[in-house]
Every structure is written in C-alpha cells, then in structure tokens.
C-alpha cells in the first residue's frame, strides 16, 4: 500500500480506527489539534484520505480545498448528504458510504417504530410506571389492521421494510424517482398521490437538496386525519413546521420520528405533542451494525490505497474507479 495519511475530523468508532492502525496508516484527529486551522495549513498536503460521519456535520468544499492531495472521503452511513459530493467530484475525489450492512437493522427498527407509534407502546410504558394502571385501563390505541402502507423511497432499505410488512398482511405502495422493474407494489409518481392512496407513510429516502421537504403540508393533508407518518430517512425530507401544524390540528393522526432537521435539537413543539414517538436517530444504532459500518469505512480506505478501487463508491464518484 502506498504511504498515506488520513484525517479524522471528528471521533470515529474503534471499528474504523483499529483496521487502519493495523495497516500502519497515520491518523490525524483534527478535533484534538489545539489549532485546527494551523494544522490544516501546515499539514493539509499530507492528507490523502478522510474518514467522516454526521458527527462532524457537513464536510464541505472549504475543508476539501485545504487538502490539496486528497483522494478519498469515506463516510459512515448510507446517507452521504453530510459530504459536499459535488465539490469532491469536481476535484476527482472518491466518496464512499456504507450501504448494505445496515439494511436489515434499519428495516427491523422501522417496523418497531411503526408498531410503537400506532399501539402507543412508549405511552403505555409511562402510564404503567406512573402508577395509573391501578386507577384505570390504558386507552384503546389505533391499529395496523386494514391499513395501506406507502413507502417513499424504495431502495434497498425500503425493499427490506416492504418484505417485513408483507408478513403483516397489509397493502403496500411506493413512490420514487421512477417505477422500478420487477416490483409488484403499486407505484405513484408523486409523494402527494401516494399519501392520498395510503394511511401510513414511511420516509426512507436520501437527504439533500433534491428531496428537501418532499413531505410538505400538501402531502400531510393528503395522508388524512387517520394518517401516520414515520420518518427514518433524514429530517430534511419533511417540512418540520408543517408536520408540527398537521399534528396539532389533527390533519394527521400521529407520527414516529427518528430524525430531525437540526439534530440533536428537537423543537419544543414536537416534544409537547403527547401522541408522537420521538427517538434520537438510532435506526442503525446496534453494536453489531455500527461495527459493520465502521469496518466498511476502513475497508473502503484500505482498498482505495491498496488497489485504487473503492468497495462502495457513491454514484456521483463511481467513475473515478481505477
């Protein structure tokens, strides 16, 4: 493997760090530098790889330009809207993500969030802990029975969610950029049309400018007063203010959210809505799956510097494969 140095803009799991250290690759923790800007000015030309995640925030053109010999950015996660891919591609910098290894985990989690939201499982837990069961029965909940589930974004995770939903005997439909060959579920050309045909809407599509606020007030209105919205995608895909208003006004019934527009800051207005299930972006957060994701980050960097080919390049930079 040719000599290389890798920058870590923010802390990374040992599943990333240990394989890189085993290869003898020098790692530079930017957050440990007393003067990060000075470090970049003096040492930036040594950096040929970056391992990053959403913990760092957005890895934008400004940092990329400070690394004149940068070749590859390995991002932790399937979504890679935290990386300015256009700026990277313009510099012929490879960008990778971690697809596949978290599909089943996120799909399992999504089903759990859906059931917890409909059957009010967190609320029932609090009801019991608060000693209220000795006074009265917990109120009857909504149900999954008889519902039609719409999936916005039928990628690999969306398909894994759909396969699990089939076991519940519910109807399934989807929206995406185009109708997919070989997929038997009904297809709708817009999120609003899908919402009008369903009473549960699951968002599992990439973030970024192209999908920003694809779930807007009109989509939520089409979902209807018995509608359930589940977001395991990115906070940016839903107009959060419109969602809050839809929940307040009973335009929709309830929501289960794992992601937010300004993480980790969750609006007080959402926190004050009693029927909403709110989770701290934990869709893939099992020890098993996060270890697999971290190992894939490391393996992408090792493969790039050893063979000139990344294992999981994002589409925008796949043409850079050696």
- Pair of tokens at residue 290: 């996060």
Catalytic option among 226, 263, 288, 306: 263
Question: Does 281 participate in catalysis according to the annotation?
Answer: yes
Q: What is the layout of strands, in order, in the sheet containing 228-231?
A: 171-175, 148-152, 200-203, 228-231, 254-257, 277-278
Active site residue 263: yes
Residue of 119, 212, 281, 295 marked catalytic: 281
Q: Residue 135 catalytic? A: no
Could you write out the DSSP letters of every residue in 7-43?
A: EESS---HHHHHHHHHTT--EEEGGG-SSHHHHHHHH
Identified catalytic residue from 28, 147, 234, 290: 234
Could you write out the DSSP letters of every residue in 71-98? -EEEESSS--TTB-HHHHHHTT-EEE--
- Nearest alpha carbon to residue 315 among 105, 157, 99: 99
How big is the chain by its Cα radius of gyration, in Å? 22
The span from the CA of 229 to the CA of 252, in Å, is: 8
Query: 95 pairs with which residues across the strands?
Result: 73
Q: Which residues are annotated as catalytic?
A: 234, 263, 281
């Amino acid at each position: 493997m040719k000599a290389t140095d890798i920058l870590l803009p923010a802390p990374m799991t040992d599943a990333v760090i240990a394989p890189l250290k085993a290869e003898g690759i020098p790692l530079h923790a930017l957050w440990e530098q007393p003067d990060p800007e000075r470090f970049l000015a003096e040492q930036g030309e040594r950096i040929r790889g970056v391992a990053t995640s959403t913990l760092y925030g957005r890895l934008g053109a400004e940092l990329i330009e400070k690394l004149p010999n940068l070749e590859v950015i390995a991002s932790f996660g399937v979504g890679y809207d935290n990386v300015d891919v256009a700026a990277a591609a313009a510099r012929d910098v490879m960008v990778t993500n971690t697809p596949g290894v978290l599909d089943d985990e996120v799909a399992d989690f999504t089903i759990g969030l859906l059931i917890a939201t409909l059957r009010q499982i967190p609320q029932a837990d609090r009801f019991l802990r608060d000693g209220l069961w000795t006074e009265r029965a917990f109120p009857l909940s909504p149900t999954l029975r008889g519902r039609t589930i719409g999936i916005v974004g039928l990628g690999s995770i969306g398909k894994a969610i759909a396969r699990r939903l089939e076991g519940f005997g519910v109807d399934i439909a989807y929206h995406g950029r185009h109708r997919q060959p070989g997929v038997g579920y009904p297809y709708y050309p817009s999120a609003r049309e899908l919402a009008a045909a369903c009473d549960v809407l699951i968002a599992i599509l990439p973030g970024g400018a192209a999908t920003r606020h694809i779930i807007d007030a009109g989509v939520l209105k089409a979902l209807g007063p018995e509608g359930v919205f589940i977001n395991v995608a990115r906070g940016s895909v839903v107009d959060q203010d419109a969602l809050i208003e839809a929940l307040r006004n009973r335009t929709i019934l309830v929501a289960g959210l794992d992601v937010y527009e300004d993480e980790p800051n969750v609006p007080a207005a959402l926190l004050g809505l009693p029927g909403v299930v709110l989770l701290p972006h934990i869709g893939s957060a099992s020890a098993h799956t996060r270890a697999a994701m971290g190992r894939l980050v490391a393996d992408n960097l090792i493969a790039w510097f050893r063979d000139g080919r990344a294992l999981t390049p994002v589409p925008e930079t796949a043409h850079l494969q050696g």
